[in-house]
Structure 1
Amino acid sequence: MRAQLQGLLDIGDLQGAKLLLVPVQPVDIAEAIEGLPESMQAIAFRLLSKDEAIEVYEYLDSTVQQSLLEEFKRQDAIEVVEQMSPDDRARLFDELPAKVVRRLLAQMSPPERQATALLLGYQEDTAGRIMTPEYISLKETLTVEQALERIRSEDKASEIVYYLYVTDPSRRLTGTVSLRELVTRAPETPLTEIVNRDTIFVHTDTDQEEVARLIQRYDLLAIPVVDRETRLVGVVTVDDVIDILERETTEDIYTLGGVQSDRDNYFQTSLVTVARRRVVWLFVLLLTNTVTGTIIRSQESVLQQVVALAAFIPLLTGTGGNVGAQSSTVVIRGLNTDEIRALGPLQVILREARAGLLLGSILGTVATLWAAWLQGSWLVAIVVGISLIAISLLASVAGSSLPFLFRRFGLDPALMSAPFITTAVDVLGVLIYFNIARRILRL
């Protein structure tokens, strides 16, 4: 559709472009607009009706949202921002310059300004920051008939109606009622008879990843958010959780690759910024790899006596780095998904140690036979095989234990990334290799 839309805009057929967008879902329109040249994005967006434009705007990437705001007249910008849902508006304001945010807040209506300020007052990446204050709450003193009447009067002011939250006179959350229960019960039935008291909820300072895990674990479409006094202040919906999971997974993948992550689109970022993010880890790896070179130079006397040992250094370090990277990857993923909570750190490390020993034995046997065939020396081959077993064991233990250590100190386990593990195992692997060689070859 993007190609068709761009073609119509190129020839100035605005009416044709407008008709093209009529039967299309808002999320697909947003994707098409994002793919247009920047000069055409505002033109395409202005072809939408007011109600459709608001919905499409919420699906756009933050960089496109910002560029469109700059194209709008001041009043147009206020109308768009005013009609956004509070949680999407807060997410947009996180990306905008502080000066622009202050200007927009000053021109918004008092209720919308208050709702936005409430969300922006919470810490980033918490339930309070991503929740929406648009929900329906029912007093527990109501009957079914009174509750249905309240729903009819407020359904347009709420983002969700499939969950109805019951509160006491102090706005404390006491339970939930499903819409199905309401429509199947007698009108005079008190809510206290049908309310579900076993309610899953989170606090405003709960980490957004924990919110996502709870919604996934209990198959919820939304989860209520309460303050320290258990007063209901908002809800987090499943569509927000999907966005959270995507962002967090992307961030972890970037970190695992030794790339400093950010909230903006990596492939729309300038090359200077990309280089700045990636060069930090590369400098660290460059410096640590010089340690490996120093160790090898210090073993010149050994290499001079048995030159064949030098040929297997890349094989040993490369294999050790790969084994360690595999262990760290599965452990970090297990930590993020809570799949290894039942096992505990010690069991996980022991399991990976056994896996490393098994892998090392298999690879070591093959490497021993390969080295004997290449060099014609069984002593050198045995050194290579034993070293590979030891390095694989070390790499598995390091790759599985260091993520737990990082988490213990409050750091992101993903920082224990594949490049870091590879470099650390390189250094230790070379030391192990030469020490085994000295003992077996009696050098």
Structure 2
Amino acid sequence: MTWNATNPQQSRSELQEEVRSRLVNYLEQGQFDAAKALLQPVQPADVADVIEELPDKSQVIAFRLLGKDEAIEVYEHLDPSVQEDLLEEFKLPEVLEIVDQMSPDDRARLFDELPAKVVRKYLLHLSDQERQATARLLGYKSETAGRVMTTEYISLKEELTVSQALARLRPVANDLETIYTLYVTDASRHLTGTVSLRMILAATPEQIIRDIMTRDVIAAHTDTDQEEVARMIQHYDFLALPVIDSESRLVGIITVDDVIDILEREATEDIYTLGGVQSGGDDYFQTNLLTVARKRVVWLLVLLVTNTATSGVIRAQEDVLESVVSLMAFIPLLIGAGGNVGAQSSTVVIRGLNTESVSMREVLPIVGREAIAGTLLGLMLGVAVTGWAYILQGDLMVAISVGLSLFAISILAAVAGSGLPFLFKAMKFDPALMSAPFITTVVDVLGVALYLSIARILLDL
């Protein structure tokens, strides 16, 4: 079975489920030849998805049915937790064969997930070339270009002819992640230019690489943040980006498939952070419940403590609430609406900062824009809630107090939601991590204070 469905209505997920179901049946019945034949025409990435859905013991059996070359490709696509489980089931020679054949960047990513003692053992048994390549990557800081790059690339010398370049390329083409862009270096390995495979094929055999290469090279440094690398590849529409060291020597490349993984990880981290969940790079749904609770409780405790300020404001205004008890009923509505407005403003600003579509120089225009948006939202919500409050309570002044308060809170929330991410960014804090609890606190405390102050004035209490 292949993923080219004969039924155009059948999705990839449906095909995966069909293969998984048949594979489970074959494995349970001991029909290993049939199971092997089922997996052979399937793409390695899809085989990895199917294996991840199998029970633990079946994962090992299914993986052992794969041919050597296919097994290595499939292994690189597996989730790190599944990779670790499979390593535990294999004998050392089998493990070393897989690990030694992995691309250096995938191997480094795997070693990041393993205990240090295990990593040291595997490193000792790798070939000298692979050990040096892996150790070099592990020596760079986490989440930098040096850590995520691969050393499997080809470089050409400026003085080579096109025919010599092709002769150098042919023997190693199948072992490289990409050959569509080739990198040109001088005698000291300094990156001096690039040349595309198309340009080489279009040139005459006797032409010199120096004469056809592009000298305007866009490159990342080994200490460039991986998010910046992703933005560079996205901005320039590259399939790969060269990585240079502090002396401008070519040391590796980062390919677009790595960038997709980076963007997914960063987006997941940002979403978790916005929700006040410390992801720590782990798969949230494969983490045990005690760890989940520990990661989620931190900001919940912070919010619990900071929200005691709201209780203090209410206690300070008890006389107002005692005089008009109906005011109490609308406090949850007001702080809830304000929190939602603040969350909307902070979300768009944090996303803008992360994608660099918004810069720190645009603080005033952005906050001003959100303030106007908050005003319009407050006007619409205020009118609606005034009518609703009057229907519920039958007291016009109470209804007007609620409506005016919601109008003011919407403006406050929009300003806080858009302004605080800029403030925390300027203070070198993660805007996503810091903004949510502080926006909630600001809106809750000041919102309740505004509401009760407005009510005191309008109701003449």
Pair in the same fold by TM > 0.5: yes
Alignment of 1:16-415 (within 5 A): 16-341=34-359, 344-415=362-433
Letter in 2 for 1:198: D
Q: CA deviation at 1:433?
A: 1.0
Q: How many residues align?
A: 443
Letter in 1 for 2:210: T
Other-structure match for 1:10: 28
> 1:383, 1:115 → 2: CA distance?
68
Q: CA deviation at 1:32?
A: 0.9
Q: CA deviation at 1:133?
A: 0.7
Contact 1:322 1:422 in 2 (8 A): no
**Identity across matched positions, percent:** 65
SS at match of 2:357: coil
> 2:460, 2:106 → 1: CA distance?
69
> 2:423, 2:415 → 1: CA distance?
12
* Structure 2: gaps (5+ residues): 1-18
- Establish whether residue 440 from structure 1 lines up as the match of residue 458 from structure 2: yes
**1:79-136 Cα distance to aligned partner (Å, 9 max, x none):** 0000000000000000000000000000111100000000000000000000001111
- The TM-score with structure 2 as length reference comes to 0.93
**1:38-67 Cα distance to aligned partner (Å, 9 max, x none):** 111111110000010000000000001001
Contact 1:78 1:107 in 2 (8 A): yes
Other-structure match for 2:5: none
> 2:380, 2:434 → 1: CA distance?
26
Letter in 1 for 2:310: T
Contact 2:240 2:253 in 1 (8 A): yes
Letter in 1 for 2:333: L
Contact 1:328 1:416 in 2 (8 A): no
| Bigger mean CA offset, 87-96 vs 413-422 | 413-422
Q: CA deviation at 1:193?
A: 1.6
Contact 1:356 1:393 in 2 (8 A): yes
Letter in 1 for 2:121: R
**1:222-261 Cα distance to aligned partner (Å, 9 max, x none):** 0000011111100000000000111111111111111111
Contact 1:257 1:419 in 2 (8 A): no
Contact 1:133 1:234 in 2 (8 A): yes
Q: CA deviation at 1:157?
A: 4.0
SS at match of 2:307: helix
**1:246-285 Cα distance to aligned partner (Å, 9 max, x none):** 1111111111111111222111111111111111111112
SS at match of 1:142: coil
> 1:423, 1:344 → 2: CA distance?
25
Q: CA deviation at 1:150?
A: 1.4
Which ranges of 4 or more aligned residues in structure 1 deviate by more than 6 Å?
none
| Bigger mean CA offset, 385-394 vs 105-114 | 385-394
SS at match of 2:364: helix
> 1:131, 1:240 → 2: CA distance?
8
> 1:67, 1:107 → 2: CA distance?
20
Q: CA deviation at 1:343?
A: 7.0
Letter in 2 for 1:337: T
Contact 1:163 1:222 in 2 (8 A): yes
Letter in 2 for 1:350: G
Contact 1:367 1:385 in 2 (8 A): yes
Other-structure match for 2:8: none
Contact 2:242 2:253 in 1 (8 A): yes
SS at match of 1:230: coil
Q: CA deviation at 1:153?
A: 3.2
> 1:46, 1:374 → 2: CA distance?
68
- The TM-score with structure 1 as length reference comes to 0.97
> 1:218, 1:298 → 2: CA distance?
58
| Bigger mean CA offset, 237-246 vs 186-195 | 186-195
Letter in 2 for 1:111: Q
| Bigger mean CA offset, 209-218 vs 8-17 | 8-17
> 2:447, 2:437 → 1: CA distance?
15
| Bigger mean CA offset, 216-225 vs 369-378 | 369-378
> 1:369, 1:25 → 2: CA distance?
60
> 1:31, 1:343 → 2: CA distance?
44
TM-align CA RMSD = 1.4
Q: CA deviation at 1:10?
A: 1.1
Contact 1:21 1:29 in 2 (8 A): yes
> 1:412, 1:170 → 2: CA distance?
40
Q: CA deviation at 1:215?
A: 0.6
> 1:285, 1:342 → 2: CA distance?
27
Contact 2:424 2:435 in 1 (8 A): no
> 2:116, 2:434 → 1: CA distance?
34
SS at match of 1:225: strand
> 1:430, 1:342 → 2: CA distance?
31
Letter in 2 for 1:438: R
SS at match of 1:138: strand
